[in-house]
Amino acid sequence: MAVAVAMASAAAFVPAAHAADISGAGATFPYPIYAKWADSYKKETGNGLNYQSIGSGGGVKQIKAKTVTFGASDAPLKGEDLEASGLAQFPMVMGGIVPVVNLEGIKPGELVLDGKTLADIFQGKVTSWDDEAIKKLNPSAKLPKKAIAVVHRSDGSGTTYNFSYYLGETSPEWKEKVGVNSALEWPVGIGAKGNEGVANNVTQADGAIGYVEYAYAKQNKMTYADMINKDGKTVEPTGKSFAAAAENAKWDSQPGYGVILANQPGAESWPMTAATWILVHKKPEDAAATGEALKFFAWSYKNGGKAAAELDYVPMPEAVVKSVEAMWAKDIVGKDGKPVWASK
């Protein structure tokens, strides 16, 4: 039960909430790095982070309901939704989504998939590991005649949004029949809650395939597949290939920095790269709490790069950080009209 052990240690940073704790909820995709940052931040400042890893959909609901100081989502809200809800949105870190499999005799990186084949698997069109489509991509692999057991997210998930966005980019049939959303009517498979749930189910079911954030796959020594990217190159999931996909992103081109990084061009680009976002109220009822949350995020931007790289996440570019912090100072204010966060 490697997943349970790893997640128990990661979850140690979510104690019973104390008065000084920062409260947040949402995406499971960035959970490992938020855990690591929170542990270091508490040691340095004494302030804790009470973060519920409940999925992006839950995080959006909770911040809109004002039951937490911040929400976290891997599916960015659109400009009109941000405006209607009085929310500010900003990216915190980037990472990669990977297909993970439980297939005897196959080690991490020994299996290669492309977007169309992955879409066909999750549509139930490719149902056996020795299907010709998979064999064509893996001519030297010993693929068993075994049924594919599909595992997908059951909760509202930004990971699902980014995964389905990529499948829609590479398979017109997927876009038309299944669509792109944080929650889907899945054609086949069993659902599991969170990256943790998908990882657990794949680990326990022979012949299974699912999709999780790369840190979960790496920490729990899961077998992941390499991918053929938009340029037709076979790439493996690494911080370098995630960074390559994000290299030319125009972050200011979308409201709330809502840029989707899936299926980006570039010979070294990982095709399922994704960012994750934080949501806070522009005029929070508890300005002090929001100010404390922004201090944590500012600290993480400044001090969290090494920890992010160790978990194969990619820190935000310095220019984006400066833009985000300028937005905080201008847009997030208390009832007195004063900024809730100051850089000095």
- Under 8 Å between Cβ of 256 and 76: yes
pLDDT at 48 over 90: yes
Per-residue pLDDT tens over the stretch 247-298: 878 898 999 999 999 999 999 999 999 999 999 999 999 999 999 999 999 9
Structural domain containing residue 149: 97-252
Residue 162 and residue 99 in contact, taking contact as beta carbons nearer than 8 Å: no
Claim to verify: residue 46 and residue 188 sit in the same structural domain:
no
Identify the pLDDT of residue 18: 47
Assess whether 109 and 88 both reside in one domain. Answer: no
Overall number of domains in the chain: 2
The reply to whether 215 and 102 lie within a common domain is yes
Whether residues 154 and 300 fall in one domain: no
> For 137-155, what is each residue's pLDDT tens digit?
999 998 999 999 999 999 9
Residues 85 and 118 in one domain: no
User: Residues near 125 by Cβ (< 8 Å), separated by ≥ 6?
Assistant: none
CB 228 within 8 A of CB 114: yes
pLDDT value at residue 215: 87
Distance of CA 169 to the CA centre of its chain: 18
> Residue 137 to residues 32, 117, 126: CA-CA distances in angstroms?
32, 9, 13
Cα dihedral angle (284, 297, 312, 307), rounded to 10 degrees?
-150
Average pLDDT over residues 171-182: 96
Residues 147 and 33 in one domain: no
Please tell me the predicted confidence (pLDDT) of residue 11: 39
Radius of gyration of the chain (CA): 20
Dist. CA 14–CA 22, nearest whole Å: 10
- Strand-pairing partners, residue 252, are none
pLDDT single digits (tens) 180-193: 999 999 999 999 99
Predicted structure pTM score? 0.87
Q: Is 269 within the bounds of a domain?
A: no
Query: What is the DSSP code string of 159-227?
Result: HHHHHHHHHHHH-HHHHHHT---SS---SSSEEESHHHHHHHHHHHSTTEEEEEEHHHHHHTT-EE-EE
Tell me whether residue 262 is in a domain: no
CA–CA separation, 316 and 179 (whole Å) = 29
Across the range 91-106, mean pLDDT stands at: 95
Return mean pLDDT, the chain: 91
DSSP string, 77-119: PPHHHHHHHTEEEEEEEEEEEEEEE--TT--TTS-EE-HHHHH
Task: For residue 141, give the DSSP letter.
Answer: S
For residue 220, what pLDDT is reported? 86
The pLDDT of residue 8 is 34
Q: What pLDDT band is residue 342 in, cutting at 50, 70 and 90?
A: confident
The domain spanning residue 293 has which CATH number?
Answer: 3.40.190.10
In a domain, 160, yes or no: yes
Per-residue confidence (pLDDT) for residue 12, from 0 to 100:
39
Measure the CA–CA gap between 193 and 200, rounded to whole angstroms: 10
CA dist., res. 38 & res. 23, Å (int): 12
Residues 213/72, Cβ–Cβ less than 8 Å: no
Residue indicated by tokens 């054609």: 187
CA distance 152 to 194: 9
Partners of 37 in beta bridges: none
315 or 21, higher pLDDT: 315
Are residues 118 and 140 both part of a single domain? Answer: yes
Which tokens belong to 161? Answer: 């949004």
Co-location of 76 and 115 in the same domain: no
DSSP-derived secondary structure letter, 284? -
Separation between Cα atoms, residue 279 and residue 277, nearest integer Å: 7
Position 268 in a domain: no
pLDDT band at 344 (very low <50, low <70, confident <90, very high): low
The tens digit of pLDDT for each residue in 1-13 reads: 333 323 333 333 4
Q: Give percent of the chain above pLDDT 90.
A: 85
